[in-house]
């Protein structure tokens, strides 16, 4: 076996530091992809943590290759010409595209907002992401189309279940006022829908590390 990547391939190179419960970059990208992002629709992560979902969304919509900002162990292999890597990076750069796509990354914790801003700058996605401090249960709908994609605490590594249940009830009340925005929420709490106050239009099973989660999707544009 020969390790050609070095650092695990899911790491993009923009996140040397993360929060207590970091979301793997590949899972964040899958969540964004399932939300069907569009150039003209705002994407908002109100539990942004270290900014992973927001950054992956911006990278996806700008055509930025996931490994463009990192190095690979095979670059040091003597029998692989440097030109191959140079050509591959130039080809990846050629697929980048201009877009007006916009992302909001917000969090109630000012420390996490600072961390997200640093990662956004490192990923060179500052032109597409606005990062700011905000309580997710106090979001007010803007006069535009938007999709929320988020990974709120679910009591595994952050908070406790009583706090989580209170949070989900508050999210349900707040997000009900955001219709017709579409909502995508990842959590491992089995009775999330009861706490949130509405049955999801679709639920997918995803794994956050070893934690089995439901990806609760609300996309039928109706009030709760």
Q: What is the CATH number of domain 25-62+99-218?
A: 3.40.50.150
Q: What is the mean pLDDT of residues 93-104?
A: 95
Instruction: Show me where the domains of the chain are located.
Output: 25-62+99-218
d(CA 12, CA 183): 26
Question: Quick one: which H or E segment has residue 106?
Answer: strand 103-107
Could you report how far apart the first and last alpha carbons of the chain are, in Å? 53
Of the candidate ranges 41-50, 129-138, 157-166, 183-192, the one whose mean pLDDT is the lowest: 157-166
Average model confidence (pLDDT) for the chain?
91
**Tell me: the pLDDT tens digits for 10-35?**
888 888 765 566 789 999 999 999 99
Residue in 100, 145, 101, 119 with CA at minimum distance from that of residue 48: 119
* pLDDT category of residue 69 using cuts at 50, 70 and 90: confident
* Alpha helix ranges (H) inside the chain: 25-34, 52-61, 82-94, 110-122, 161-175, 192-196
Q: What is the mean pLDDT of residues 51-58?
A: 96
pLDDT over 70 percentage in the chain: 94
For residues 222 and 6, which has the higher predicted lDDT (pLDDT)?
Answer: 6
**pLDDT surpassing 50 at residue 213:** yes
How many C-alpha atoms does 198 have within 13 Å on its Cβ side? 24
Q: What is the per-residue pLDDT for 13?
A: 81
Q: What is the mean pLDDT of residues 197-211?
A: 94
SS3 119: helix
Q: What is the per-residue pLDDT for 155?
A: 67
Q: What is the per-residue pLDDT for 224?
A: 42
pTM: 0.90
Both tokens of 137, joined, read: 């249960």
**Tell me: the pLDDT tens digits for 146-197?**
999 999 987 655 568 888 999 999 999 999 999 999 999 999 999 999 999 9
Cβ contact 215:186 at 8 Å: yes
């Amino acid at each position: 076996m020969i390790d050609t990547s070095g650092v695990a391939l899911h790491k993009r190179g923009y996140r040397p530091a993360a929060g207590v419960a970091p979301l793997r970059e590949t899972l964040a990208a899958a969540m964004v992809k399932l939300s069907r992002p569009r150039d003209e629709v705002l994407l908002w992560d109100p539990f942004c943590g270290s900014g992973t979902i927001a950054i992956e969304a911006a990278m996806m919509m700008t055509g930025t290759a996931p490994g463009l900002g990192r190095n690979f162990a095979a670059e040091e292999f003597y029998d692989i010409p440097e030109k191959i890597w140079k050509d591959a990076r130039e080809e990846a750069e050629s697929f980048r595209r201009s877009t007006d796509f916009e992302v909001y990354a917000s969090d109630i914790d000012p420390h996490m907002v600072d961390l997200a801003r640093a990662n956004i700058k490192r990923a060179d996605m500052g032109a597409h992401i606005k990062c700011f401090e905000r309580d997710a249960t106090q979001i007010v709908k803007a006069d535009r189309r938007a999709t929320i994609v988020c990974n709120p605490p679910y009591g595994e590594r952050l908070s406790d279940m009583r706090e989580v249940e209170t949070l989900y009830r508050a999210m349900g009340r707040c997000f009900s006022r955001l219709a017709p925005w579409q909502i995508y929420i990842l959590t491992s709490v089995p009775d999330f829908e009861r706490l949130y106050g509405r049955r999801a239009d679709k639920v997918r099973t995803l794994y956050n590390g070893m934690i089995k989660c439901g990806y609760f999707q609300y996309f039928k544009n109706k009030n709760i």
